A and B are shown apart, each in its own frame.
Chain A
Amino acid sequence: MKNMIVFKELDANGLDYLALLGWLLVFIVAGLGSSWYMEHNGHIVTGMTNQIVWGMPHVFAVFMIIAASGALNIASISSVFQRKMYKPLARISAILAIALLAGGLMVLVLDLGRPDRLIVAMTKYNFKSIFAWNIYLYSGFFVVVLVYLWMMMERRMNRYARAAGIFAFVWRLALTTGTGSIFGFLVARQAYDPAIMAPMFITMSFSFGLAIFILLLLFTYKATNRPLGDRILFMLKNLLGVFAAAVLYFIVVRHLSNLYATHRHGVEAFILLNGGVYTALFWIGAVLMGCVLPIALLFHPATGKSCSAIMLSCWLVILGGLAQIYVIIIGGQAYPLDIFPGYQVSSSFFDGVVHPYAPSLPEILLGLSGMATAVFIVAIAMRYLPILPMSLSDAAVDPSHDKSK
């Protein structure tokens, strides 16, 4: 069997590497401090209310959790669909998936009203709850991906790697379905409809996860002076373009089908037309930045071959993705519950009015600390594990060169 790819730990003892870790630690500590501050004073110090019960931390957490399963995609393509070109990237893809999930879960847990009761969440289950299922799906994901990684890295286990990869692939589909279903199962909320939430989340995961993956690759190979060829980069960026288009497709289908259901007209008008910040985030953030611009940049003959345009597209997909999750989570709550259809309602509990929300600094810091944690884990893993190929030059990755063996 061919094996031209040489994996090697980062040779990173330089100041740059330590400075990076230092900065990440600053963010991580800031997030931990925010969480302590929120728990000590109560959630009153956040922008969250009794109407907007899930705020900025959930936006980051959900984004990272779905991006985690998407980051594993590269490994899946290599193992499940037997695409050799992707093989050198499989290990780093698995590590990134684990790191993103860890970061997302950290934010989710630290935003609980009682994070000190995590042990309760781990020991007491209500099996009817999709949330409880997700606890299994998430912890299982770590195990499944770690085993998969081990089989890829341990030569004697290589032959099981494909089976493990398929298992991990199925698991990640279940995981994203589970995450999407958290919203899909909320019968009371006009903004969430069960049928399309899960497939939409899966497509979003492909797009967000790949954007983070490409950025990571570009950054690391540049910083370490390892060669990164156009072949692999263009392949990935084309894939990102396709995924971004798929997300756009789901956005269109979701809102079009909602427009058929009369009882959803109110919330649709809110998101698409008159929802103020949510409408802006939807059109400018989710649609334009998250889909249209990246698709144009990635497929245009001029920009499609430019490294900086590809990098920009990745950032746009990430920012647009965050905007999209924000609109889904916060916008879905800001629109009032329709408790009395056909009536105009008012109360001291803000029935019938759009609920305001402004994220507070601690919430944002907590969210960013999750991202920092993910990058920190990847940086440490790259330093101590042979997960990064020495070269991703065209010659190194192109299977046609193998035939000379």
Chain B
Amino acid sequence: MTTQDQKEGQDQKEGISRRRLLSTAGAGMATIALASGVTLISRAQATPRVRGVGVPASSKIRWGFLVNTNSDPSDWDTCVAACKKENGWANTGHPNTDPQWIRKVSLKDKRTGAATSLPMMCQHCEFPPCVDVCPTGASMRRADGIVLVDRHRCIGCRYCMMACPYGARSFVHHDLHNQRPSMPRGKGTVESCTLCVHRIDTGKNPACVDALQAKGSKAIIFGDLNDPNSEISREVARYLTTRIRDDLALEPGVLYRGL
């Protein structure tokens, strides 16, 4: 157990007020707006940044990413590396079958020739077709907008991969090695970016965002799109943003700026 893990364990024991403290400390994160006269309990049930054990995810939150495509293209390599490290997926020399939870996509405007690049991962759609088509309900959307696959329920039919317009999902084609305890995976099942749910639930940023911040980049801003005071909401209100394949009206939780 790392010291970080131990600290989180303590946090959970120490209860709501401690959690609140942690949440306020979270970098630019949605904090709980404390209206006077609201009881402690209802505050805790509102939108805690840290999700306690057994506490259901709150629909008051809508986790999202704001990606600034004008950033240094090497930032996306940083994200990919961080995601691999955090979640244990890797290149095994089989590019056609190796999973990719996040990838760097290079774009060139066919008419103007202008080029850019961006990171593409699960867009955590508000109306996710992958969830709609899943026969067993293994593909699911959590109340706070995170789209996940229940690896114990997934039968590996791959219909969700047919349905996802973003090519965001991968099928585990081979035996797995070096799995991370925080991110169990399974051969024969489908996986994709979890928005680092295990980190979010303990009050941390997703690994890709943390890695960017460590190198002083704000290429991806993570936060609660429902909280008007969050950094992401303020940025989204300030700049024009795009949702990819917006014509499909899936309302992705990942927004792109500069596209």
CB within 8 Å of B: which residues of A?
A: 39, 41-44, 48-51, 53-54, 112-115, 117-118, 120-121, 124-126, 128-132, 134-135, 182, 185-189, 333, 337, 339-340, 342-351, 356
Cα separation A129 to B135 with both chains bound (whole Å): 5
Sample of 4 further A-B pairs with CB below 8 A, known A113-B190, A114-B155: A117-B153, A185-B133, A348-B100, A351-B120
What residues on A are CB-neighbors of B129 within 8 Å? 186-188
What residues on B are CB-neighbors of A113 within 8 Å? 154-158, 171-172, 187-190
Q: B157-189, CB under 8 A of A: which get 1 and which 0? A: 111011111110111111100000000001111
Q: Chain A nearest CB: distance from B250 CB in Å?
A: 8
What residues on A are CB-neighbors of B165 within 8 Å? 187-188, 337, 339
B171 pairs with A131, CB closer than 8 A: no
A347 pairs with B104, CB closer than 8 A: yes
- Cβ of B111 within 8 Å of any chain A Cβ, yes or no, is yes
Cα separation A138 to B97 with both chains bound (whole Å): 31
A53 pairs with B162, CB closer than 8 A: yes
B162 pairs with A347, CB closer than 8 A: no
Q: B69-110, CB under 8 A of A: which get 1 and which 0? A: 000000000000000000000000011111110011111111
What residues on B are CB-neighbors of A54 within 8 Å? 158, 162
Listed from nearest, the 5 A-B pairs whose CB atoms lie closest are A113-B156, A113-B188, A188-B165, A131-B135, A49-B96
The listed residue (A51, A125, A350) touching B136 by CB distance below 8 A is: A125
Q: Chain B nearest CB: distance from A399 CB in Å?
A: 46
- Cβ of B134 within 8 Å of any chain A Cβ, yes or no, is yes
Residue of B nearest to A135 (CB): B135
B167 pairs with A124, CB closer than 8 A: no
Q: Chain A nearest CB: distance from B154 CB in Å?
A: 7
What residues on B are CB-neighbors of A188 within 8 Å? 129, 163-166, 245, 248
What residues on A are CB-neighbors of B161 within 8 Å? 50, 53
Cα separation A350 to B169 with both chains bound (whole Å): 13
With A44-B97, A126-B136, A129-B135 as contacts: A339 and B104 at CB distance below 8 Å: no
Cα separation A41 to B176 with both chains bound (whole Å): 11
What residues on B are CB-neighbors of A187 within 8 Å? 129, 163, 165, 248
B172 pairs with A42, CB closer than 8 A: yes
Cα separation A342 to B136 with both chains bound (whole Å): 36
Cα separation A186 to B174 with both chains bound (whole Å): 27
Q: B124-135, CB under 8 A of A: which get 1 and which 0? A: 000001011111
Cα separation A120 to B248 with both chains bound (whole Å): 31
What residues on A are CB-neighbors of B200 within 8 Å? none
Cα separation A113 to B188 with both chains bound (whole Å): 4
Cα separation A120 to B175 with both chains bound (whole Å): 22
Q: Chain A nearest CB: distance from B23 CB in Å?
A: 33
A344 pairs with B95, CB closer than 8 A: no
Q: Sample 26 A-B pairs with CB under 8 A, ordered by A number.
A: A39-B188, A42-B173, A42-B174, A42-B175, A48-B97, A53-B161, A53-B162, A54-B162, A115-B155, A124-B137, A126-B131, A128-B131, A129-B133, A185-B133, A185-B163, A186-B163, A187-B165, A188-B245, A342-B110, A342-B111, A344-B108, A344-B110, A345-B107, A347-B103, A349-B103, A349-B167
With A343-B110, A346-B106 as contacts: A130 and B133 at CB distance below 8 Å: yes
Q: Chain A nearest CB: distance from B254 CB in Å?
A: 12
A342 pairs with B109, CB closer than 8 A: yes
Q: Chain B nearest CB: distance from A28 CB in Å?
A: 22
B167 pairs with A132, CB closer than 8 A: no
What residues on B are CB-neighbors of A333 within 8 Å? 162
What residues on B are CB-neighbors of A186 within 8 Å? 129, 133, 162-163
Residue of B nearest to A342 (CB): B110
Residue of B nearest to A182 (CB): B159
Q: Chain B nearest CB: distance from A178 CB in Å?
A: 12
B105 pairs with A42, CB closer than 8 A: no
Cα separation A130 to B161 with both chains bound (whole Å): 15
A43 pairs with B133, CB closer than 8 A: no
Cα separation A115 to B158 with both chains bound (whole Å): 12
Q: Chain A nearest CB: distance from B107 CB in Å?
A: 4
Q: Chain B nearest CB: distance from A48 CB in Å?
A: 8
- Cβ of B244 within 8 Å of any chain A Cβ, yes or no, is yes
Interface centre among B132, B154, B173, B248 (most CB of A within 10 A): B173
The listed residue (B105, B132, B187, B245) touching A345 by CB distance below 8 A is: B105
What residues on A are CB-neighbors of B188 within 8 Å? 39, 42-43, 112-114
What residues on A are CB-neighbors of B96 within 8 Å? 49-51, 350, 356
What residues on A are CB-neighbors of B155 within 8 Å? 112-115, 117-118, 120-121
A114 pairs with B154, CB closer than 8 A: yes
What residues on A are CB-neighbors of B158 within 8 Å? 53-54, 113
With A113-B188, A120-B153, A333-B162 as contacts: A50 and B100 at CB distance below 8 Å: yes
What residues on B are CB-neighbors of A351 within 8 Å? 103, 105, 120, 167
Q: For residues 135 through 159 of chain B, which have their beta carbon under 8 Å from a beta carbon of chain A?
A: 135-138, 153-159
Cα separation A114 to B151 with both chains bound (whole Å): 10
Cα separation A188 to B165 with both chains bound (whole Å): 5
Q: Chain A nearest CB: distance from B83 CB in Å?
A: 13
Residue of A nearest to B163 (CB): A186
What residues on B are CB-neighbors of A340 within 8 Å? 105, 107, 244
Q: B231-246, CB under 8 A of A: which get 1 and which 0? A: 0000000000000110
With A53-B158, A188-B248 as contacts: A129 and B170 at CB distance below 8 Å: no
Cα separation A228 to B132 with both chains bound (whole Å): 50
B107 pairs with A112, CB closer than 8 A: no
What residues on A are CB-neighbors of B175 within 8 Å? 41-42
A49 pairs with B97, CB closer than 8 A: yes
Q: Chain B nearest CB: distance from A360 CB in Å?
A: 12
Q: Chain B nearest CB: distance from A54 CB in Å?
A: 6
